[in-house]
Amino acid sequence: MHTVEVERLAAFLRTFKNRTERSYEALARRTGVSSSSLHRYCTGTKIPPDYGSIQRFARECGATQDELRELHRLWVLADAVRRGQPEPEPELAEPPAEPPPSRSRRRRLTLIGAAALVLVTGGVTVLLLSSGGQSEPPAVQGPMLLSSACPPVIGMGQHDECVREVQTLLHRAGAKISIDGDFGPQTLRRVTAFQVLSGLQPRGVVDEATKRALYDQKVSMAGWSPQEVERRIREVFPEEPDRAVGIARCQSFLDPLHVLTNTNGTRNWGVFQLSDRLLTEFAGTQRQAYDPEWNIQAARRAWSRHQDFRDWEHCDQPFRSSAPPPSASG
């Protein structure tokens, strides 16, 4: 699937690989991605299914924060090709510089040097003040995310007022989120949840459709508190309430809107972090997985098959290891 977008991503990945003398095998051990996959990513014969895998690869090769941000932008474009969707609208190039004005033109400009020009475009009024040939930057009015002040796609690694606007809108929708202008893992989880609840594809980046849905404010992200989640888990798992709550807390911090992306591109959803495999097995959807009642009942169904928590082996380990040893005879 060699397209311009895929080749640009592969070429950028090769620049990181060329910085290090380590082999693909050595990098694979550090990143949790197979050496063959890393090689295919760098040659453009395979598109990474998730950003996390190539982010770890780039970090191991010494990528800077700016390079990670550019890597994420290139991955979004390539991922759109992989999914067979229209790619995000690219940023517009800067217009060519105009030649310096003639003497007569400069005279006319001087006459209006202190004038106030009011421009009305698409219902948004921008006031430009000129004084002595200097102009104030135009103030952004109207929806910030839909203006030229923000890039077409906002995603991981970005830190600016556009991210702060995203976080503010998510908070207004009822999401529990820090408003710090930093697009990190917490913002990624909330954006993904918002997209699922809005009926959008959960790509984890804020594209135009997500921006408009955020401003529409038709989706509520308010839900159960951790105390309500814990109480319901204890009711549904009367045989082992402490163990069930402990596993859910390990999985999601009792957060109904928690989501985690695995290195192979699959994801886990909701209170018990139901895997894509379990969702398919139980004929569930991502939206249902965010419903704490459905999620807890699905976890109960998984538990009932063997009367144990083998589907959450990692989080169940402390409970197994804490079991008292058999008493010695004699």
The DSSP secondary structure of 274-328, one letter per residue, reads EEHHHHHHTT--HHHHTSHHHHHHHHHHHHHHHTS-GGGHHHHHHHHHTSPPPPP
Residue 113 is predicted with a pLDDT of 43
Lowest mean pLDDT among 60-74, 75-89, 273-287, 293-307: 75-89
Question: Domain 226-321 falls in which CATH fold?
Answer: Lysozyme (1.10.530)
Please give the single-letter amino acid code of residue 308: D
Structure tokens at 237: 């798992």
Task: Please give the pLDDT value at position 128.
Answer: 37
Q: What pLDDT is attached to residue 84?
A: 60
pLDDT digits (tens, 9 = 90+) for 97-112: 444 455 544 444 444 3
**What ranges do the domains of the chain cover?**
4-82, 106-132, 145-216, 226-321
CA distances 200 to 190, 205, 213, Å, are 13, 11, 9
Please give the helix or strand (H or E) that residue 191 lies within, else none: helix 185-197
Spatial separation of the C-alpha atoms in residues 218 and 263, rounded to whole Å: 32
78, 100, 190, 226, 228 from 257: Cα distances, Å: 27, 56, 7, 11, 14
> What does the pLDDT read at residue 31?
87
With bands split at pLDDT 50, 70 and 90, how would you rate the model's confidence at 158?
very high
- Please tell me which residue, 96 or 32, carries the higher pLDDT value: 32
Centroid of chain to Cα 254 = 20
pLDDT at position 2? 58
Identify the pLDDT of residue 96: 43
Tens of pLDDT, residue by residue over 117-135, are 333 333 333 333 333 444 4
Domain 145-216 in CATH 1.10.101.10? The answer is: yes
Nearest residue to 41 (alpha-carbon basis) of 54, 60, 58: 54
**Residue 284 pLDDT:** 97
255: CB partners within 8 A, 6+ apart: 176, 226, 271
As a whole number, mean pLDDT of residues 242-262 equals 92
Reported confidence tier of residue 22, pLDDT bands at 50, 70, 90: confident
CATH topology (fold) of 4-82: 434 Repressor (Amino-terminal Domain) (1.10.260)
Is 50 exceeded by the pLDDT of residue 191?
Answer: yes
Would you say residue 198 has pLDDT above 70?
Answer: yes
Is this prediction's pTM over 0.75? no
pLDDT band at 6 (very low <50, low <70, confident <90, very high): confident
- Which of the pair, 87 or 297, is modelled with greater confidence? 297
Residue 139 confidence class, pLDDT cut points 50, 70, 90: low
Whole-number percent of the chain with pLDDT over 70: 78
